[in-house]
Amino acid sequence: MIRPKAIEAQIDEAIALDLSALRVRLVITDRQHPQHLRSETLVHLVRHARRVGDQVLIGAALPVLLGRCEANLLVKVPDGQLPEAASVREEILGQFSELFASDDHGAAPDELDFYECKFNRAFRFFRIDIVRQEIARLKPAVDLPQPTDEEDADPREDVFARVSEAFQSPATQESIAFRSELEDAILALPTDERDAVILVHALGYQEESDDPDEETAATRCNCTGRTIRNRLKRAAAKLSRFKEDL
């Protein structure tokens, strides 16, 4: 898949910027401004940052990209359109973030390649697919297929297995340094994602429970278990480099 020349040129320009100059460009919201960074460019910056292990760059670019997606969803999946519109928006953002956590860095044609060429079109298809799944879920169904025991691997598992291990293993000189770096990265997450990670993977709360009296991450955050899982997906994309650091 070939990126348009204008996007290629902006990507080359953005990669060459130092962090201070890049942050100035990232806050420009007017799409007609000559310095505005396109969403295609932001996708490339996040993927590039993951390849080189630049967590600071991920922390700068990914929240801006997700913020644009969230603004789009508030318009395209508004409250009142679906019974659980807010949860569907969380689901879309969570699954989109998960694409970065499972990105194969160009080893083969990847879904994110499409986003680097035609972001709005790619995200529209992505959004519509999930909304249709939700509509189908809400329809009365007969003879629903039974779930199998096998599930696709969740990219969160590698990340958070190491988060849990870091907080639960006996301290060593090496693990103390790693844990300090990990804690800084977790504290830098948006508040909702940070709370979900700490509650589930540092303090050991369940995401949710069928027991209404059990205190869980969902009850602590006054939201659904689905929302907690979506927040964890977004956090996993930002913490993905730690799955390779232990």
pLDDT above 50 (res 228): yes
User: What's the whole-number mean pLDDT along residues 156-163?
Assistant: 57
User: Residue 147 has what pLDDT?
Assistant: 42
Residue of higher predicted confidence among 238 and 20: 20
Triad 65, 47, 8: Cα angle to 5°: 85
User: Residue 177 has what pLDDT?
Assistant: 61
Identify the H or E element spanning 171: none
What DSSP string describes 84-105? THHHHHHHHHHHHHHHHHT--T
Q: How far apart are CA 221 and CA 197, in angstroms?
A: 12
- Residues ≥6 apart with Cβ < 8 Å to 220: 195, 199, 205
Range among 6-15, 72-81, 162-171 rated most confident: 6-15
Tell me the percentage of the chain whose pLDDT exceeds 90.
34
User: What's the whole-number mean pLDDT along residues 233-237?
Assistant: 84
In the numeric block, the tokens 């000189």 are attached to 173
User: Residue 162 has what pLDDT?
Assistant: 55
Q: Measured between alpha carbons, how far is residue 182 from residues 51, 99, 238, 245 in Å?
A: 18, 21, 11, 10
pLDDT tens column, 17-61: 999 999 999 999 998 999 999 999 999 999 999 889 898 999 999
Decide: 240 and 189 in contact? Cβ < 8 Å. Answer: no
Residues in the chain: 246
Decide: 194 and 186 in contact? Cβ < 8 Å. Answer: yes
Confidence band (pLDDT; 50, 70, 90) for 164? low
Q: How far apart are CA 120 and CA 105, in angstroms?
A: 21
pLDDT above 70 (res 72): yes
Average pLDDT, the chain: 81
User: Residue 236 has what pLDDT?
Assistant: 83
Tell me the percentage of the chain whose pLDDT exceeds 70.
78
- Asked whether the whole model's pTM tops 0.85, one would answer no
Q: How far apart are CA 186 and CA 24, in angstroms?
A: 24
Q: How far apart are CA 228 and CA 208, in angstroms?
A: 8
Backbone angles phi, psi at 79, to 5 degrees: -60, 135
Q: 145 burial class (0-12, 13-18, 19+ CB within 10 angstroms)? A: exposed
Residue of higher predicted confidence among 210 and 154: 210
The first and second tokens of residue 171, run together, are 């301290």
